[in-house]
């Protein structure tokens, strides 16, 4: 049985990374797709774990070969999601998460319309600002830019199938996990997974 594709988007500071990390601990049937990038590897990063690090030439070849579900240029670097890698994980029965922004989500939905999309929101702008400020790593100028970018990102919430508001982390995690569990209980999924059982149940002697 093939897995299902999920897209999770959120503004910076909404808690997406923490939620997805905990979700992977809870459910061994879920994987996160590892993006490809042309940026230089940072200290401590491992190729194939944090990113697939590619040369600009290799990245361009993959674009021309149509091997990206989505890709974008961020400043001087390119980022993308490998179609081949995602398909291999789905065929192994894993549900696959793409952690991408709303623009990437639009590109993927154009290719895979049945992908399930999830948007994570903070409980308020004040809380979002508190979280961004609490990191203690960014200047006021960078935080102001992140807030502006977050407002732009959040305006696209209506393009997603599900919305999870991360006010209480444990509750948000349960809600996020329930989306994956429900996806495995659709008629299509159950017929594929329990084909023989269902045929036996409805077979008339």
pLDDT of residue 205: 64
The CATH superfamily holding the domain 5-33+95-202 is P-loop containing nucleotide triphosphate hydrolases (3.40.50.300)
* Mean pLDDT along residues 22-26: 97
Q: Of 198, 197, 195, 193, which Cα lies nearest the Cα of 29?
A: 193
Domain positions in the chain are: 5-33+95-202
User: Is the alpha carbon torsion for 148, 149, 150, 152 positive or negative?
Assistant: positive
Query: With 90 as the cut, is the pLDDT of residue 114 above it?
Result: yes
Phi, psi at 12, each rounded to 5°: -60, 130
What's the helix, strand, coil split of the chain in %, to 5? Answer: 45, 20, 30
* Mean pLDDT along residues 42-53: 92
Overall pTM surpassing 0.85 (yes/no): yes
Name the band, by pLDDT with cuts 50, 70 and 90, for residue 18.
Answer: very high
């Amino acid at each position: 049985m093939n897995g299902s594709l999920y897209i999770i988007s959120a503004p910076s500071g909404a808690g997406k990374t923490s939620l997805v990390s905990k979700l992977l601990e809870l459910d061994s049937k879920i994987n996160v797709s590892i993006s490809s990038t042309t940026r230089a590897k940072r200290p401590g990063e491992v190729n194939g774990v944090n990113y697939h690090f590619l040369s600009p030439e290799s990245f361009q070849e993959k674009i021309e070969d149509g091997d990206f579900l989505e890709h974008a240029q961020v400043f001087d670097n390119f980022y993308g999601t490998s179609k081949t890698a995602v398909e291999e994980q789905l065929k192994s029965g894993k549900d696959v998460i793409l952690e991408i922004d709303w623009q990437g989500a639009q590109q993927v939905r154009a290719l895979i319309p049945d992908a399930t999309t999830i948007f994570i929101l903070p409980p308020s702008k004040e809380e979002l600002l508190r979280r961004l400020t609490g990191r203690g790593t960014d200047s006021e100028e960078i935080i102001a830019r992140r807030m502006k970018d977050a407002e732009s990102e959040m305006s696209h919430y209506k393009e997603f199938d599900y919305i999870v508001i991360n006010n209480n982390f444990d509750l948000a995690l349960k809600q996020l996990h329930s989306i994956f569990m429900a996806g495995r209980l659709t008629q299509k999924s159950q017929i594929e997974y329990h084909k023989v059982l269902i045929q036996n149940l409805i077979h008339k002697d």
